[in-house]
C-alpha cells in the first residue's frame, strides 16, 4: 500500500521529492492527479482509489476543510451549524491512500503532462482531472469587485462568504429589506437562490417578522417556480417579492455605499444584499484552454475527457453537458463515470456504461421540502434527459415533512460518498 | 426463481419491456456506485437505508416495483426506470455480494 503519509507530504516544500517518493511506494501504478476537492474531484479520487488494480491518486485542494454549498442555506437560516457542513480529507488520505496536497493548481502543461502547483511543485500525470468549480464573470455587474463582495456577499462559494451573509442577516433590524440578485442560466444550483429566499424568510418569520425579501431575477422563469411560489404563499404570505427581468430590466451595477443594486429600469436599496453574479468555469480551466467560448468546458459525455485536450478530464460545475444542471449530485455522478473511464483506460478495468442521475432536495420551509429526480441518457453523443419527476403541489404536509427527514439522511450518505 | 416470476408478471402486464441485451457482470459495480450517492454502503442507515449486503432477490423485487410505479418513491422510480431488468439483476448481484465495509 502507499505508505507515504499525509503529514510527510504536507511537510514537503520542494518539487523533486514528490514523484520520487511515490515511485518508491508504488512503482508501476499509473498516476492520476485531480485538481479540486469538492463534490466532483473528491469523488473521482475516492473511486479511483477503490479500483481493483492500484492507481497512484493525488488530490490537490487548497482548503484543509471543505464546506459544502449544498445545505448552506440551512445554515443561513440558523437551522444547521457551519461545522455540520464542513468536511476534512483525513478519510481520503488515511483510509484510501490518496495523496491529499493542500495547494492550488497554477498551470497545466498538456504536452509534458505535468501540473505546476502554486507552492512550486510540479506533478507528472498519466491522466489529469480538473474539477475547479466556478468563477464569477468579471465585469458582468459594474462595481461588483472583491471589495464589494465583503459588503454585499455572494455566498455562492461556501466559506467565509456564507458566514458573512449569516452575520449580516442576524444584524439586520426587523423591518429591513433583504435583496437577492439571481443570475441568468446556466449557474450553480438552479433552485439555490429561491431556496435561500425561502429559508431566510423562515428565519425572518420567527425573528424579524416585518422584514421583506426581494429577488431581482435576470430570468423570467425559474426552476420549480410553481412549487416555490405555492410555498411562499403558504408559509410567508406577502414577505417574498420576485421581480423578473421583464419587469425590472437587466441587473447592471451595485453601489456599496448604500447597498443598492441598479437594474436597467430601477434602483433597489437593501439592508442586506446578496449578489449572485453570472458564472463561468473557474480560472484554471480558462487558462488551460479547457473552456469554450461560453466560458464552460466541453467534454465527452461518457468519459468526461476534454474535447479540447485529450488526457485531461473535467467534472462538476465547470463542464457543460447537455441539459445537466450544475449540482453537487451531478458532479458526483459525472465523477463516477469519469473514474470508471480512467480506470478502464489506465488499468484495463472493464468499461462501465455511465449511469447518470440528478436528485435534489429543496427546502421551502424548515418542515417542508420538495425533491426532484432526473435520469440522463447518452444518445448520438449527447446527454439527454431520459426522465424527470418532481414533487407536486398536492402533496400532504406529512409527505413534505418526510422529504425533510430524507433530505437530512441524504446529506449524510452523500457526503460519505464524497469524502469517505 | 421468484424474481423471474415477478419480472415476467410485470412484463406480461405491459409495465416493462424486457430488452434483449444482457448486462455485463461488471455493470453491477458502476450501478452500485450510483446507489452510493444516497445510500450508505457501510451498514449505517441514514434515514435512507443502507444497502450493504441486502438480499439479492429482495433488491430485484423492490427495483422492479419501483420501476413500475412512482407510488413508493419518485426518486427510486426514476432511478429504476433508467435500468433494464438485466441491469437490475447485475446491481442486485453486486450489492448482495458486497456486505458493509467492502469496496463498491
pLDDT digits 0-9 by tens, A181-200? 999 999 999 999 999 999 99
Of the listed ranges A23-32, A69-78, A305-314, A357-366, the least confidently predicted one is A23-32
How far apart CA A144 and CA A256 sit, in angstroms, is 9
Arithmetic mean of pLDDT over chain A = 94
Which whole number is the average pLDDT over B22-48?
85
Look at residue B24 and tell me whether its pLDDT is greater than 70. no
pLDDT confidence tier of residue A84, bands split at 50, 70 and 90? very high
A66 and A161 Cβ atoms separated by less than 8 Å: no
Residue A142, CA atoms < 13 Å, CB-side half-sphere? 8
pLDDT confidence tier of residue B101, bands split at 50, 70 and 90? low
The predicted model scores a pTM of 0.90
Residues 392-411 of A with CB under 8 A from B: 405-406, 408-410
Q: Among partner residues A47, A391, A416, which is closest to B33 by beta-carbon distance?
A: A47
Which whole number is the average pLDDT over A268-294?
98
CA distance B15 to chain A (A): 16
A165 and A156 Cβ atoms separated by less than 8 Å: no
Q: Among partner residues B46, B74, B83, which is closest to A409 by beta-carbon distance?
A: B46
A352 and B87 Cβ atoms separated by less than 8 Å: no
| Terminal-residue alpha carbon distance, chain B | 26
Q: With an 8 Å Cβ cutoff, are B48 and A410 in contact?
A: yes
Nearest residue to A49 (alpha-carbon basis) of A304, A331, A343: A343
Q: With an 8 Å Cβ cutoff, are A340 and B37 in contact?
A: no
pLDDT confidence tier of residue A27, bands split at 50, 70 and 90? low
Nearest residue to B89 (alpha-carbon basis) of B70, B66, B64: B64
Other CB atoms within a 10 A radius of the CB of residue A322 amount to 15
Q: With an 8 Å Cβ cutoff, are B36 and A417 in contact?
A: yes
CA distance B33 to chain A (A): 7
CA distance A212 to chain B (A): 34
How far apart CA A133 and CA A16 sit, in angstroms, is 29
Residue A72, CA atoms < 13 Å, CB-side half-sphere? 23
Find chain A residues with C-beta within 8 A of B43's C-beta.
none
Q: H/E element holding A57?
A: strand A56-60
Whether A389 contacts chain B with CB within 8 A: yes
Arithmetic mean of pLDDT over chain B = 79
CA distance B85 to chain A (A): 15
pLDDT confidence tier of residue A352, bands split at 50, 70 and 90? confident
DSSP lists the bridge partners of residue A36 as none
How far apart CA A215 and CA B66 sit, in angstroms, is 38
For residue A155, what are the contacts with CB-CB under 8 A and spacing of at least 6? A72, A76, A161, A162, A164, A165, A274
Whether A174 contacts chain B with CB within 8 A: no
ipTM of the complex: 0.89
Percent of chain A with pLDDT over 90: 92
Going along chain A from its start, the domains and CATH numbers come out as 6-135+280-353 (3.50.50.60), 141-277 (3.50.50.60)
Look at residue B45 and tell me whether its pLDDT is greater than 50. yes
Q: With an 8 Å Cβ cutoff, are B34 and A408 in contact?
A: no
Grid cell, residue A190, equals 438552479
Going along chain B from its start, the domains and CATH numbers come out as 2-96 (1.10.760.10)
Amino acid at each position: 500500500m502507499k505508505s507515504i503519509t499525509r503529514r510527510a507530504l504536507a511537510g514537503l516544500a520542494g518539487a523533486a521529492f514528490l514523484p520520487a517518493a511515490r515511485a518508491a511506494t508504488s512503482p508501476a501504478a499509473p498516476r492520476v492527479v485531480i485538481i479540486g476537492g469538492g463534490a466532483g474531484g473528491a469523488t473521482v479520487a475516492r473511486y479511483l482509489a477503490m479500483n481493483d488494480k492500484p492507481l497512484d491518486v493525488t488530490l490537490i485542494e487548497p482548503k484543509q476543510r471543505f464546506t459544502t454549498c449544498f445545505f448552506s442555506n440551512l445554515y443561513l437560516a440558523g437551522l444547521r451549524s457551519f461545522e455540520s457542513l464542513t468536511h476534512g480529507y483525513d478519510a481520503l488520505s488515511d483510509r484510501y491512500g490518496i495523496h491529499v496536497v493542500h495547494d492550488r493548481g497554477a498551470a497545466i502543461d498538456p504536452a509534458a503532462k505535468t501540473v505546476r502547483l502554486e507552492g512550486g511543485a510540479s506533478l507528472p500525470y498519466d491522466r489529469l482531472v480538473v474539477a475547479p468549480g466556478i468563477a464569477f464573470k468579471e465585469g458582468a455587474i459594474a462595481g461588483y469587485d472583491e471589495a464589494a463582495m465583503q459588503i454585499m456577499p455572494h455566498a455562492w462559494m461556501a466559506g467565509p462568504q456564507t458566514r458573512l451573509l449569516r452575520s449580516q442577516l442576524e444584524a439586520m433590524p426587523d423591518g429591513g429589506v433583504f435583496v437577492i440578485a439571481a443570475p441568468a442560466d446556466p449557474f450553480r444550483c438552479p433552485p439555490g437562490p429561491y431556496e435561500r429566499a425561502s429559508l431566510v424568510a423562515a428565519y425572518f418569520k420567527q425573528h424579524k417578522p416585518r422584514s421583506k425579501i426581494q429577488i431581482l431575477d435576470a430570468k423570467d422563469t425559474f426552476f420549480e417556480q410553481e412549487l416555490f411560489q405555492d410555498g411562499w404563499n403558504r408559509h410567508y404570505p406577502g414577505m417574498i417579492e420576485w421581480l423578473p427581468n421583464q419587469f425590472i430590466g437587466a441587473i447592471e451595477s451595485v453601489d456599496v455605499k448604500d447597498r443598492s443594486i441598479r437594474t436597467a429600469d430601477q434602483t433597489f436599496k437593501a439592508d442586506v444584499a446578496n449578489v449572485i453574479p453570472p458564472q463561468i468555469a473557474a480560472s484554471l480551466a480558462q487558462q488551460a484552454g479547457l473552456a469554450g467560448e461560453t466560458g464552460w468546458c466541453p467534454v465527452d459525455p461518457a468519459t468526461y475527457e476534454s474535447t479540447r485536450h485529450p488526457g485531461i478530464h473535467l467534472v462538476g460545475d465547470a463542464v457543460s453537458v447537455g441539459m445537466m444542471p450544475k449540482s453537487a449530485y451531478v458532479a458526483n455522478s459525472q465523477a463516477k463515470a469519469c473514474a470508471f473511464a480512467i480506470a478502464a483506460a489506465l488499468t484495463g478495468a472493464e468499461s462501465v456504461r455511465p449511469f447518470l442521475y440528478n436528485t435534489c432536495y429543496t427546502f421551502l420551509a424548515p418542515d417542508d421540502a420538495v425533491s426532484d429526480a432526473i435520469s440522463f441518457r447518452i444518445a448520438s453523443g449527447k446527454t439527454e434527459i431520459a426522465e424527470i419527476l418532481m414533487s407536486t403541489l398536492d402533496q400532504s404536509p406529512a409527505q413534505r415533512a418526510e422529504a425533510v427527514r430524507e433530505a437530512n439522511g441524504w446529506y449524510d450518505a452523500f457526503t460519505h460518498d464524497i469524502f469517505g | 426463481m421468484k424474481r423471474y416470476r415477478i419480472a415476467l408478471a410485470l412484463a406480461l402486464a405491459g409495465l416493462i419491456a424486457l430488452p434483449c441485451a444482457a448486462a455485463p457482470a461488471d455493470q453491477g459495480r458502476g450501478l452500485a456506485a450510483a446507489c452510493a450517492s444516497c445510500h450508505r454502503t457501510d451498514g449505517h442507515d441514514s434515514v435512507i437505508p443502507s444497502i450493504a449486503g441486502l438480499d439479492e432477490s429482495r433488491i430485484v423485487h423492490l427495483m422492479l416495483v419501483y420501476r413500475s410505479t412512482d407510488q413508493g418513491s419518485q426518486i427510486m422510480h426514476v432511478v429504476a426506470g433508467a435500468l433494464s431488468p438485466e441491469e437490475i439483476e447485475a446491481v442486485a448481484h453486486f450489492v448482495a455480494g458486497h456486505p458493509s465495509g467492502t469496496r463498491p
